Amino acid sequence: MDRQPKSGKPPGIDEAYTITPFTPRGSTKNFWVPPTIQTDFENYLMTDVPGSNYTFEWLRNWYDREAADYEPHFIRGMYYPINWKSKIGNSDANSNFRTILQNDIRKGDIVVREDGVIFMLNWQVQRHINNLSTQAIDCNAYIDFYREVDEVLDERGYLLEEAGKKVIVPNLPCVYSEYAGRPDYATNYNTPGITPDHLLTVQVQFNSFTENLCIGDKFTLMHSTYHIVHLIDREVDIDRLFGIINITARRSAGEEVT
């Protein structure tokens, strides 16, 4: 049985029914934005809220502290947990960080909380209506990066500098984690014993010291020596003013360092 009326209209629709076509037009609605929305957040940050609001020492370059005329710059910030966590890549050490719009924080900046804990801002900074937001990760090691250099002679053959270790980046707070893939141990040609293919990933602040790092530079961590096998600057600003250098390092074969 055909349920469609002869007129072609749906059942129950009057013969005189017509559909008005949509015609767009300009809106006359004004949305109200609280005029104090920015200063409200500023005032909130200046409130002592346990487990949320802290005072931080803000460092564009970690080595600014070594200048004779250094004066610390302090900012207020919100530091609070992230709802999701993961153990891969040490990401469970990340937490949210927010501060006022006037504090022009950038990825790679280091902030030292009032209790002495050191964090690195490791996410692209987002600008909201009344705050700047990013993520802060706990730095979990101080690392000295060094380079093994040859002796330096003058044109007459006199020794100017002895061969040895040259520190390239001294005592820098970093974030390191173990590569999430499966560790491998293999034999290499003309190398005695078994070479551990144990990889670490290290994040360091991009600054006037770390920009001089090269493949082959070394560091010591947890009684083992590692050498850099890869450097990537994908998280460094296009003008090379700030950011994070990501390092991949492999454990060097040999006895344990004490």
Q: How far apart are CA 97 and CA 121, in angstroms?
A: 8
Q: Which pLDDT tens digit goes with each residue over 14-41?
A: 666 678 888 999 998 999 999 999 999 9
157 lies in which domain range? 141-251
Residue 82 shares a structural domain with residue 99 = yes
Q: Is residue 31 part of a domain?
A: no
Residue pair 108/244 in contact by the 8 Å Cβ criterion? yes
Residue 183 shares a structural domain with residue 233 = yes
Residue 227 tokens read as: 């050498």
Q: Is residue 8 part of a domain?
A: no
Residue 47 shares a structural domain with residue 66 = yes
Last residue of a domain, one of 121, 138, 155: 138
Residue 169 shares a structural domain with residue 125 = no
Q: What is the pLDDT of residue 90?
A: 77
Last residue of a domain, one of 104, 138, 172: 138
Q: b/e per residue, 106-144, with b = 16+ CB within 10 A?
A: ebbbbbbbeeeebbbbbbebeeeebbbbbbbbbbeeebe
Q: Is residue 172 part of a domain?
A: yes
Residue 173 shares a structural domain with residue 162 = yes
Nearest to 219 by CA among 112, 135, 143: 143
3-state secondary structure of 230: strand
Average of pLDDT values for 47-67?
95
Q: Which pLDDT tens digit goes with each residue over 104-140?
A: 999 999 999 999 999 999 999 999 999 999 999 999 9
Positive or negative torsion for Cα 61, 65, 70, 76: positive
Residue 47 shares a structural domain with residue 128 = yes
Residues contacting residue 94 through CB under 8 Å, at least 6 positions apart:
82, 122, 123, 135, 136, 137
Residue 161 shares a structural domain with residue 242 = yes
CATH of residue 216's domain is 2.40.10
Residue 18 tokens read as: 């017509």
| Number of domains comprising the chain | 2
pTM: 0.80
Last residue of a domain, one of 93, 110, 138: 138
Residue pair 231/245 in contact by the 8 Å Cβ criterion? yes
pLDDT of 10 strictly over 80: no
Question: What's the distance, CA 175 to chain centroid?
Answer: 9
Q: How far apart are CA 133 and CA 146, in angstroms?
A: 35
Residue 148 shares a structural domain with residue 127 = no
Mean pLDDT of the chain: 87
Q: Is residue 29 part of a domain?
A: no
Q: Is residue 224 part of a domain?
A: yes
Average of pLDDT values for 198-216?
93
Q: Which pLDDT tens digit goes with each residue over 215-236?
A: 999 999 988 899 999 999 999 9
Q: Which pLDDT tens digit goes with each residue over 163-175?
A: 778 899 999 999 9
Residue 128 shares a structural domain with residue 149 = no
Residue 147 shares a structural domain with residue 228 = yes
Residue 93 shares a structural domain with residue 179 = no
Q: Is residue 195 part of a domain?
A: yes
Q: What is the pLDDT of residue 191?
A: 60
Q: Is residue 28 part of a domain?
A: no
Residue 58 shares a structural domain with residue 158 = no
Q: Is residue 64 part of a domain?
A: yes
Average of pLDDT values for 182-191?
59
